[in-house]
Amino acid sequence: MSGVKTVASLPPPLKWAGGKRWLVPHLRVLFEPHRHRRLVEPFAGGLAVTLGLLPERALLNDINPHLINFYQWLKRGLQIHIPLENSRETYYKHRETFNKLIREGQAFSQEAAALFYYLNRTGYNGLCRFNAKGEFNVPFGKYKNIPYQRDFTAYKSILRGWDFVCMDFEEISLEPEDFVYADPPYDVEFTAYAPGGFSWEDQVRLVRWLQRHPGPVVVSNQATARILSLYQEHGFAIRLLQAPRRIACNGDRTPAQEVLAFRNLTLFPKSQPAQALRLGAGREPRARGEVFGFNIDSTFEV
Ligand SMILES: C[S@@+](CC[C@H](N)C(=O)[O-])C[C@H]1O[C@@H](n2cnc3c(N)ncnc32)[C@H](O)[C@@H]1O
């Protein structure tokens, strides 16, 4: 168990669409034998996975500069001094101050990080949306109680070995030994709308970029037919998982299918029998799916 971080984890500090906290037990089984490697997340989002896996070293990227600015201040032990109130009046006042900082070239200040946190926790559904002029334009949210936090010094020691960068995923310089976990915006078939501006061409660009990496790679995405074909055509192994139930706008409660695609990962290494990958102390894995940390009933190979 050498190299395992003993510190207790902390919850993701922001609300972020597409959080994969529920995938952490599945990813932990895959990452554990590679814990000595640097974890690279090209689409770090709300940090749900990294805070779940707690790697010693990580390179965390996202194309959203305000998100990355917040994490860079979090790493320095952010303390928030602005008023944190769940009121419409305070919300629009803080939103205007945040937009003023952007206009005046102060978007990477500590004050901007504090305001970003407040707007994220107080605004509608934790959305992060900007208008054509580059102004944050999310309306006031509908939360009854918000557990605001002012002191983030506890994150400082956890984030010590983690670097944060902000660029398109393809510009990241990977080291051959890196363990890459990629969680891009979902592919949504049969619609012209690309969530987060991530088009089908971007999905193809991503698989080609990942295919060139000589180290271990895991990708999660919505299990659409074209995503399954794309990853299979590029030599990835595929596992399907049942994602937690989501309620769509039309009330549809059909559970979504999630795909995990892998490369350069030996799931049953010869030198390490399956039984060695224990899920809990004194508990033997009963079935093949469980060895991977998957529920055997909801997982199948394609
Ligand atoms: C599904 S979310 C990741 C969620 C994260 N795994 C979690 O558990 O919180 C996808 C992220 O990709 C980012 N993104 C979108 N296009 C990108 C690009 N071209 N390069 C890097 N990041 C991008 C978005 O800003 C968003 O935060």
Closest CA to 126 of 250, 13, 282: 13
Token readout for 8 is: 């207790």
Token readout for 225 is: 């037919």
Is 283 contained in some domain? Answer: yes
Q: One digit per residue, pLDDT tens: the chain, 302 residues?
A: 444 445 678 999 999 999 999 999 999 999 999 999 999 999 999 999 999 999 999 999 999 999 999 999 999 999 999 999 999 999 999 999 999 999 999 999 999 999 999 999 999 999 999 999 999 999 999 999 999 999 999 999 999 999 999 999 999 999 999 999 999 999 988 766 666 689 999 999 999 999 999 999 999 999 999 999 999 999 999 999 998 866 454 555 566 799 999 999 976 544 444 333 332 223 333 333 333 333 323 344 44
Q: What is the CATH number of the domain that holds 217?
A: 3.40.50.150
**Distance from CA of residue 193 to its chain's centroid?**
21
Is 4 contained in some domain? Answer: no
pLDDT at 290: 33
pLDDT at 177: 98
99 CA distance to ligand 1 centroid (A)? 22
Q: List the end-to-end C-alpha distance of the chain, in Å, as a whole number.
A: 32
Please tell me the distance from the alpha carbon of residue 122 to that of residue 227, in angstroms, as a whole number: 35
186 CA distance to ligand 1 centroid (A)? 9
Query: HSE of 103 in the Cβ direction (CA atoms, 13 Å)?
Result: 9
Is 94 contained in some domain? Answer: no
Q: In what order do the strands lie in the sheet with 39-41?
A: 162-165, 58-61, 39-41, 179-182, 217-222, 257-263, 237-242, 300-301
pLDDT at 194: 65
Token readout for 238 is: 């595929």
| Closest residue CA from atom 18 of ligand 1 | 168
When divided into structural domains, the chain yields a total of 1
160 CA distance to ligand 1 centroid (A)? 22
Residue corresponding to tokens 């190299």 = 3
DSSP the chain: -TT---SPP---SS--TT--GGGHHHHHHHHGGGTTSPEEETT-TT-HHHHHH--SSEEEE-S-HHHHHHHHHHHTT-B--S-----HHHHHHHHHHHHHHHHTT-TTSHHHHHHHHHHHHHBGGG---B-TTS-B-PPB---S------B-TTHHHHTTTEEEE-S-GGG----TTPEEEE-PSPP-TT-S--GGG--HHHHHHHHHHHHT--S-EEEEEE--HHHHHHHHHTT-EEEEEEPPP---TT---PPPEEEEEEES--SS-TTS-GGGS-SBTTB---SHHHHTT--GGG-EE-
Please tell me the distance from the alpha carbon of residue 278 to that of residue 236, in angstroms, as a whole number: 25
The β-bridge relationship of strands 179-182 and 162-165 is unpaired
User: What's the chain's Rg over C-alpha atoms?
Assistant: 20
Q: Which of 14, 24, 50, 62 to mutate to test the pocket of ligand 1 (most atoms within 8 A of CB)?
A: 62
Is 92 contained in some domain? Answer: no
Is 28 contained in some domain? Answer: yes
Is 200 contained in some domain? Answer: yes
Is 173 contained in some domain? Answer: yes
Give, to the nearest 10 degrees, the angle between helix 110-122 and helix 88-103: 140
181 lines ligand 1 (CB under 6 A): no
Amino acid identity at 161: G
Tell me if 66 sits within 8 A of 111, measured CB to CB.
no
126 lines ligand 1 (CB under 6 A): no
117 lines ligand 1 (CB under 6 A): no
Is 134 contained in some domain? Answer: no
Task: Please give the residue range of the domain that contains residue 283.
Answer: 21-63+169-301
